[in-house]
């Protein structure tokens, strides 16, 4: 009797270690994985959306600047935006990296275009107008920088947080794998005959919980309408959340199937 | 014999599934009870940033004349009125919202103020380019400004104009004692680069 109770407690702990192993594995393959992030950004055309968004914001700010809209011609390119976004993601995920984007190039090109336009108009600028143009140029450059980096000041905090979480998640993942094996060995030692039965119960429970989380998410949270910062970023976040939920669902289904198979085998073995 | 084995395997599998469900309920309850408020907060936060795309029809925007309050409001970024200054040949759409992307299409209304008919400050702004509010600095005391909203028409008479630095936010105060329309644009209108000042026309409800 004591052996059975102890075995069921071991099963409870085994459920916990299997769940933690699955969750940390999913996390390390998705939000903590630079390659996955870059792949997903490409999948949702994030770079192109950001390019369009930055250009539209440039135009909004140029409308009442007194300058023609063609002052923005060639100031930014899609390739540079692509490169800058990749650099930014790399900066977030790698220790000891610094971020460098093309903001100086943007500034230089814009100033060149403005000078050309003013020369064509044969206008002599007053000192106030020169100051006004400088403010306009700085505004455009800031729009570019924020379009890539969002809030620049808080980015180093986000980077530190990501690196810490990655470290902790890796340790937790390894510990949970080891503990799973240890618990299994303990169950074999205590009650060899019923090992498959207990393992099947653990896997079935993990499957039920993971599928239950997916069902709860569908019924209580409207992920498809999330809007954070801008449309491009929102679509990216929605895609990442959906990928994580899908991984949970697949893990749950696989767990249940394995649990049923083990249950059948254990039933057959005990009977024999 | 085979049937007996099959039955016992089926029984064992069903028993294991039932035990698994019991475990799942125990674990879910054990997590839900101490963390239920945190889970509800997380779900509310996610739902807060979920924007429903079912827009209500603009004709649903109505004013409660007894309490001087709109019964429902236009969506942010939605056109809900036309603003007209006949003396300056200005006839522009009026949108709820003051983002630059909205000002590209007409006059914007700050979400920090009130709506026409509500008895408070109505703060509107537009670009100083031709086709928008380029002529606003030519407005004179006594000029009429009309706002034709989906829920009613309102006429205001200009009583003051000012040129202020863009940082002087108290030049467009939000108050609910009197219905005042404050319409502004960047100044000077023929500037190059970023204009540091604003031209504001103040008009009271007729």
B127 is catalytic: yes
Least confident range from A72-81, A92-101, B193-202: namely A92-101
Who among A139, A226, A268 is closest to B194 (CB)?
Answer: A139
What is the average per-residue pLDDT within B34-41? 83
A66–B19 CB contact, under 8 Å: no
Convert the pLDDT of each residue in A1-27 to its tens digit.
Answer: 787 888 889 999 999 999 999 999 999
B186 is catalytic: yes
Residue A197 at interface with chain B, using a CB cutoff of 8 Å:
yes
CA distance linking residue B169 with residue B187, whole number of Å: 15
**What ipTM, to 2 d.p.?**
0.79
**Closest Cα of chain A to B14: distance in Å?**
9
Q: Tell me what pLDDT residue B143 has.
A: 97
Q: Are A93 and A137 in the same domain?
A: yes
Q: How many CA atoms lie within 13 A of A101 on its CB side?
A: 27
Whether the per-residue pLDDT at B54 is higher than 50: the answer is: no
A133–B194 CB contact, under 8 Å: yes
CA distance linking residue B171 with residue B156, whole number of Å: 18
Q: Which structural domain, as residue segments, surrounds residue A209?
A: 2-30+172-271
* pTM for this entry: 0.80
Q: Classify B122 as helix, strand or coil.
A: strand
Asked if residue A13 is part of any domain, the answer here is: yes
Convert the pLDDT of each residue in A207-264 to its tens digit.
Answer: 999 999 999 888 877 788 788 888 889 999 999 999 999 999 999 999 999 999 999 8
Convert the pLDDT of each residue in A135-191 to its tens digit.
Answer: 999 999 999 999 998 866 788 888 889 999 999 999 999 999 999 999 999 988 888
Crossing angle of helices A231-271 and A34-43, in 10° steps, is 120
Who among A57, A67, A201 is closest to B16 (CB)?
Answer: A201
Q: What DSSP character marks residue A194?
A: G
Q: Tell me what pLDDT residue B59 has.
A: 62
Whether the per-residue pLDDT at B15 is higher than 70: the answer is: yes
Out of 1.10.10.10, 1.10.3720.10, 2.40.260.10, 3.40.50.300, which CATH number does the structure's domain B58-205 have?
2.40.260.10
Among A150, A180, A210, give the residue marking a domain's end: A150
- A224 φ/ψ angles, rounded to the nearest 5 degrees: -65, -20
Asked if residue A110 is part of any domain, the answer here is: yes
Residues in Cβ contact with A234 at an 8 Å cutoff, skipping those fewer than 6 apart: A226, A227, A228
- pLDDT-derived band at A96 (thresholds 50, 70, 90) equals confident
Beta bridge partners of residue B147, listed in sequence order = B83, B154
Are residues A208 and B18 in contact, defined by beta-carbon separation less than 8 angstroms?
Answer: no
* Cβ neighbours of A237 in B, within 8 Å: none
Strand B144-149 vs strand B180-187: parallel, antiparallel, or unpaired? unpaired
In chain A, how many domains are there? 2
A208–B16 CB contact, under 8 Å: no
DSSP string for B57-91? PGGG--EETTTTEESS-PPTT-EEEEEEEGGGTEE
CA distance linking residue A223 with residue A225, whole number of Å: 6
Convert the pLDDT of each residue in A64-78 to its tens digit.
Answer: 888 888 999 999 999
**Closest Cα of chain B to A43: distance in Å?**
22
């Amino acid at each position: 009797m004591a052996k059975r109770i102890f075995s069921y407690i071991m099963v409870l702990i085994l459920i916990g270690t299997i769940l933690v192993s699955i969750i940390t594995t999913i996390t390390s393959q998705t939000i903590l994985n630079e390659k996955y992030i870059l792949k997903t950004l490409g999948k949702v055309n994030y770079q192109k959306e950001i390019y369009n968004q930055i250009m539209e914001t440039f135009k909004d700010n140029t409308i009442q600047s007194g300058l023609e809209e063609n002052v923005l011609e060639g100031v930014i390119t899609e390739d540079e935006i692509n490169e800058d976004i990749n650099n930014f993601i790399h900066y977030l995920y790698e220790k000891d990296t610094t971020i460098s984007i093309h903001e100086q190039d943007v500034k230089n090109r814009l100033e060149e275009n403005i000078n050309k336009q003013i020369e064509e108009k044969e206008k002599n600028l007053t000192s106030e107008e020169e100051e006004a143009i400088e403010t306009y140029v700085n505004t455009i450059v800031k729009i570019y920088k924020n379009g890539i980096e969002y809030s620049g000041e808080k980015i180093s905090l986000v980077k530190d947080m990501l690196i810490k979480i990655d470290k902790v998640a890796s340790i937790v993942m390894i510990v949970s794998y080891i503990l799973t094996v240890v618990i299994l060995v303990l169950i074999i030692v205590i009650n060899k005959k019923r090992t498959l039965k207990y393992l099947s119960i653990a896997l079935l429970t993990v499957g039920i919980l993971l599928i239950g989380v997916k069902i709860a998410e569908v019924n209580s949270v409207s992920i498809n309408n999330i809007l954070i910062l801008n449309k491009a970023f929102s679509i990216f976040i929605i895609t990442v959340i959906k990928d994580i939920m899908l991984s949970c669902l697949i893990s749950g289904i696989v767990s249940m199937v394995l649990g049923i198979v083990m249950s059948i085998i254990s039933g057959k073995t005990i009977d024999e | 014999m085979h049937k007996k084995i099959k039955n016992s395997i089926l029984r064992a599998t069903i028993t294991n599934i039932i035990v698994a469900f019991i475990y799942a309920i125990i674990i879910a309850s054990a997590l839900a009870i101490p963390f239920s408020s945190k889970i509800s907060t997380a779900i509310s936060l996610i739902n807060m940033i979920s924007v429903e795309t079912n827009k209500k029809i603009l004709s649903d925007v109505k004013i409660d004349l007894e309490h001087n309050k709109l019964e429902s409001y236009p969506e942010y970024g939605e056109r809900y009125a036309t603003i007209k200054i006949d003396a300056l040949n200005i006839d522009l759409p009026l949108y709820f919202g003051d983002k630059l992307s909205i000002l590209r299409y007409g006059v914007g209304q700050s979400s920090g103020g009130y709506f026409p008919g509500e008895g408070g400050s109505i703060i509107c702004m537009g670009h100083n380019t031709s086709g928008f509010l380029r002529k606003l600095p030519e407005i004179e005391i006594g000029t009429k400004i009309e706002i034709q909203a989906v829920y009613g028409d309102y006429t205001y008479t200009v009583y003051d104009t000012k040129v202020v630095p863009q940082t002087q936010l108290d030049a467009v105060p939000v108050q609910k004692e009197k219905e005042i329309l404050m319409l502004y644009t960047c100044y000077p209108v023929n500037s190059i680069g970023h204009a540091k000042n604003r031209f504001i026309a103040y008009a009271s409800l007729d």
